[in-house]
Amino acid sequence: MTNDKVTMNSILVVDDELSMREFLEILLAKEGYTVSCVSNGEEACSILDREMFDLVITDIRMDAVDGLGVLRKAKEVDSETPVIIISAFATAETAVEAMRDGAYDYIPKPFEVGEFKKIVRDALHKKTVSRVEDEDHLEKGYHFGCLIGESPQMKSTYDLIRRVATTKTNILVSGESGTGKELVARAIHGQSIRCNNHFVVINCAGIPETLIESELFGYKKGAFTGAGTDKAGLFEAADGGTVFFDEIGELTPAIQVKLLRVIQEKTFTRIGETQERTVDVRFISATNKSLEQEVMSGSFREDLFFRVNVIEISVPPLREREGDLPILAHHFLVKYSKELDKVINKVSTYAMDILSKYPFPGNVRELENIIERSVALETSNIVLPQSLALSHFKQVRIEEGRRHTDMGPDGIELDKVMAEIEREYILKAMEKAQGSKQKAANLLGITVDSLKYRLTKLNL
């Protein structure tokens, strides 16, 4: 769409290969940019002394003045000018050096054209919007309590939290491990009239069965060996506030019976006492299981299920939260950069591309661990793919290779699929040929005229 194009942004392209300069000039001009091309680093430094550019794109390996020299010159003239380094000889060492010197991104050749255009757009946008404004927008626009995200799924979750928070109704928060069920519970508590009172977490899977009754209800001095004093339980500690049962499906049948009475009557008895005590608490429960199936199998009481599940809030897995991955990654990047006392400004485009293809079975918690690890390992000011250091990404690539033969239950649109495959192979050939149509045509086994026709047909 023409509305997506940015007009009159000036870009300097530096590459000693004519075919690549021509390729980039045509590609960027089609996007509405004003493009100047030079063939070596010396000429680039000279033109940077005379003219201002919104973006510099430079090859890394050139005679005399290389891409790093061009990068340093561009930063010397204007420290805010983003510089994208491209190279067919990408190494971790040169990438780290480029990032330390302030490169916006480091892209290995061959590159995917669509992704390259996105990097250019993002780099130009970054120059016009200060980092402070970006972070302020993140804080104001994407947060709901401790929850982060602006996907439609999360906005629906926020809306449901607002509606149930002011009620006294018991809530069941369901979702896979790592989705943030406790954060949802805390958001409900924080929006409620109980927000100034205690939010007590009961880890149903973490308390030994022999201790859970005394932890929940408390006990009287002398009730059992080791009970040297009276002790209040967690229900009493939460009086006036909220009790959160994390993974309630892990409770034993014996505890389920006693919990049912507390939820129904708001009364309980300490171990070793006969006196009933009354508490005013709200109950929020969480589960990563299907409690309906647990009820059907006899593992979970049906009457308790109906008591805890008056309203259910289902937290979506990360893989279904369209657009939230970059927001969450940036949030954790800022968090752990501060905690580890590092200056890391962004996740590189190619590292983000790897993350975007990963299914995240551990959801947001797993993403947080990945980013924390990456920040700890990274030696530049940008998270590079090798810092992810995750062997299971290889399986992602394998699954991608199988994608073309998948056929859903409703069939496929063969022409559309074939066009996508044709587009993919042409882009890969152009990238491998570094923009040379003749070399790309040879790789594809077609004539240059045929390649030109296909490029036009596919709007490349």
What confidence tier does 352 reach under pLDDT thresholds 50, 70, 90?
A: confident
Same domain, 284 and 161: yes
Same domain, 169 and 295: yes
What confidence tier does 5 reach under pLDDT thresholds 50, 70, 90?
A: very low
Looking at residue 287, what is its pLDDT? 95
pLDDT beyond 90 at 459: no
Question: Mean pLDDT throughout 144-165?
Answer: 89
Domain-embedded: residue 375: no
CATH (domain of 80): 3.40.50.2300
Domain-embedded: residue 334: no
What confidence tier does 43 reach under pLDDT thresholds 50, 70, 90?
A: very high
Nearest alpha-carbon partner for 118 in 437, 283, 296, 352: 352
End-of-domain residue from the set 287, 314, 341: 314
Whether pTM exceeds 0.85? no
Domain-embedded: residue 388: no
Same domain, 177 and 301: yes
Same domain, 158 and 282: yes
Beta bridge partners of residue 245, listed in sequence order: 202, 285
pLDDT beyond 80 at 421: no
Same domain, 226 and 306: yes
What confidence tier does 402 reach under pLDDT thresholds 50, 70, 90?
A: very low
What confidence tier does 321 reach under pLDDT thresholds 50, 70, 90?
A: very high
Domain-embedded: residue 64: yes
Q: How far apart are CA 176 and CA 223, in angstroms?
A: 39
pLDDT in tens, 434-455: 778 888 888 887 887 778 777 7
Domain-embedded: residue 343: no
Domain-embedded: residue 297: yes
Domain-embedded: residue 399: no
Same domain, 84 and 17: yes
Looking at residue 225, what is its pLDDT? 79
What confidence tier does 8 reach under pLDDT thresholds 50, 70, 90?
A: low
Range of weakest confidence among 314-318, 322-326, 385-389: 385-389
360 Rama class: left (phi>0) / alpha (psi -120 to 50) / beta: left
Looking at residue 410, what is its pLDDT? 66
Looking at residue 137, what is its pLDDT? 43
Nearest alpha-carbon partner for 270 in 342, 199, 216, 194: 216
State residue 4 phi and psi, 5-degree precision.
Answer: -80, -15
Same domain, 183 and 230: yes
pLDDT in tens, 80-119: 889 998 887 656 667 767 777 778 888 877 788 888 888 8
Question: Mean pLDDT throughout 334-342?
Answer: 90
Question: Mean pLDDT throughout 318-338?
Answer: 92
Same domain, 158 and 271: yes
What confidence tier does 422 reach under pLDDT thresholds 50, 70, 90?
A: confident
Range of weakest confidence among 43-57, 155-169, 191-205, 339-353: 339-353
Looking at residue 110, what is its pLDDT? 78
Question: Mean pLDDT throughout 419-442?
Answer: 79
Domain-embedded: residue 6: yes
CATH (domain of 307): 3.40.50.300
Range of weakest confidence among 122-126, 167-171, 249-253: 122-126
CATH (domain of 429): 1.10.10.60
End-of-domain residue from the set 262, 290, 314: 314
54 versus 173: which is more confidently predicted? 173
Same domain, 44 and 172: no
End-of-domain residue from the set 314, 342, 359: 314
Same domain, 98 and 204: no
Domain count, the chain: 3
Question: Mean pLDDT throughout 411-428?
Answer: 74
Question: Mean pLDDT throughout 196-200?
Answer: 91
Quote the domain boundaries for residue 448: 407-457
Same domain, 162 and 107: no
Same domain, 156 and 105: no
pLDDT in tens, 365-377: 999 999 999 999 8
What confidence tier does 134 reach under pLDDT thresholds 50, 70, 90?
A: very low
pLDDT beyond 90 at 247: yes
